[in-house]
């Protein structure tokens, strides 16, 4: 058996005495594993999809724990993008070259990157995590001038002009907030949306019989990588996993928004999408 393996290796090295495999690295080589996974170049290899770089493992982990493979990052982002498109189309919400879009909690552009090939006016995004918004600016804004990103503080305000956005969406963000922060952001998000514009949110949805208070917040401890913004300013020390009823969200928004449609399990077969239209 050993003789067979040796022979096969010799054959692969074309009969020469050289080692059969060679590692080619065009960038800095990281001997430390944690340094390597934080690196955007993965030992000199830049992963790309449709001509756009893929962020480092640590950044991918920050937006989607336990699905950090580059393929999952692209696929799940694409599926969320498709779910957003579907609910908009099915409810006659037009997306075109004059439409201003905003993503709250944009992360490292897992969904935003799929808007690069869309007919839209502009795409703005914010997140509390500066590493992620900087990456989006460095990669997505450089690729396309319609895209811009900034860091927001943990609590409102959101530095966006009033009535300037047609569609504001936020995926898997309320799902990580305590009640006070979630309620504050729901009120704040209404301000930049134009009258007649739309708000699209994803929630971990529970029924009213399971969740009579309308909201349930659980502490969630992610061991792998630290989110630098936790414990800074108004941000709590730990991360959360939050479930809501759709009625709870609709009630908070009721002064400014009318509920248009909901799609249960639209995001990763887990989260519901809720679409609202701004009335005033
Ligand atoms: C699960 S990730 C989702 C990111 C992105 N929406 C996506 O689907 O890829 C949650 C994101 O919410 C952001 N986030 C959490 N609290 C926030 C806050 N108060 N303001 C803005 N972003 C926040 C986190 O930094 C993180 O990028």
Site to probe by mutation for ligand 1, drawn from 54, 62, 128, 136 as the one with most ligand atoms within 8 Å of Cβ, is 128
**Global model pTM greater than 0.85:** yes
Domain ranges of the chain: 65-278
Distance of CA 93 to the CA centre of its chain: 22
Ligand 1 centroid–CA 173 distance in Å is 5
Q: What's the gap in Å between 165 CA and the centre of ligand 1? A: 19
Q: Buried b vs exposed e over 157-194: b needs ≥16 C-beta within 10 Å?
A: ebebeeeebbbbbbbbbbbbbebebbbbbbebbbbbbe
Distance from the alpha carbon of residue 19 to the mean position of ligand 1, in angstroms? 46
Q: Are strands 257-267 and 100-104 parallel, antiparallel or unpaired?
A: unpaired
Cα(28) to centroid(ligand 1), Å: 30
Q: Which class does domain 65-278 fall in? A: alpha beta
Q: Tell me whether strands 193-205 and 165-170 are parallel, antiparallel or unpaired.
A: parallel
Closest CA to 129 of 241, 243, 238, 235: 235
Q: Which ligand 1 atom sits nearest the alpha carbon of residue 177?
A: 16
Residue 226 is predicted with a pLDDT of 80
Q: Which candidate, 125, 123, 80, 102, places its Cα nearest to that of 193?
A: 102
Please determine, for residue 221, whether its predicted confidence score (pLDDT) is greater than 90.
Answer: no
State whether the beta carbon of 107 lies less than 6 angstroms from ligand 1: yes
Interval 87-104 mean pLDDT? 97
CA 2 to chain CA centroid, Å, is 49
Q: Are 103 and 120 in contact (CB under 8 A)?
A: no
Confidence check: pLDDT of 37 > 70? no
What digits encode the pLDDT tens for the residues 172-208? 999 999 999 999 999 999 999 999 999 999 999 999 9
Q: Is 173 in the pocket of ligand 1 (CB under 6 A)?
A: yes
Instruction: With a cut of 80, say whether residue 153 has pLDDT above it.
Output: yes
Average pLDDT, the chain: 88
Averaged pLDDT, 111-124 = 97
């Amino acid at each position: 058996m050993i003789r067979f393996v040796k022979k096969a290796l010799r054959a692969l090295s074309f009969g020469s005495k050289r080692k059969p495999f060679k590692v080619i690295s065009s960038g800095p080589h990281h001997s430390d594993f944690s340094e390597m996974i934080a690196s955007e170049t993965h030992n000199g290899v830049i992963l790309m999809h449709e001509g756009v770089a893929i962020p480092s493992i640590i950044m991918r982990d920050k937006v989607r724990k336990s699905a950090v493979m580059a393929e999952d990052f692209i696929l799940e982002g694409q599926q969320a993008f498709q779910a957003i498109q579907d609910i908009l189309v099915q409810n006659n919400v037009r997306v075109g070259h004059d439409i201003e879009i905003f993503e709250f909690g944009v992360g490292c552009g897992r969904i935003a990157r799929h808007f690069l090939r869309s007919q839209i006016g502009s795409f703005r995004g914010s997140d509390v995590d500066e590493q992620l918004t900087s990456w989006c600016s460095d990669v997505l804004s450089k690729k396309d001038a319609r895209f811009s990103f900034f860091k927001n503080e943990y609590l409102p305000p959101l530095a966006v002009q009033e009535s300037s956005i047609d569609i504001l969406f936020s995926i898997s963000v309320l799902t990580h907030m305590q009640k006070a922060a979630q309620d504050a952001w729901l009120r704040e998000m209404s301000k930049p949306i134009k009258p007649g514009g739309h708000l699209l949110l994803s929630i971990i949805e529970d029924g009213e019989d399971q969740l009579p208070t309308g909201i349930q917040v659980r502490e969630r401890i992610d061991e792998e990588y630290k989110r630098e913004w936790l414990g800074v300013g108004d941000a709590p020390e730990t991360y959360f996993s939050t479930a809501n009823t759709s009625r709870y969200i609709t009630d908070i928004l009721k002064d400014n928004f009318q509920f248009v449609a909901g799609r249960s399990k639209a995001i990763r077969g887990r989260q519901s999408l809720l679409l609202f239209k701004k009335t005033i």
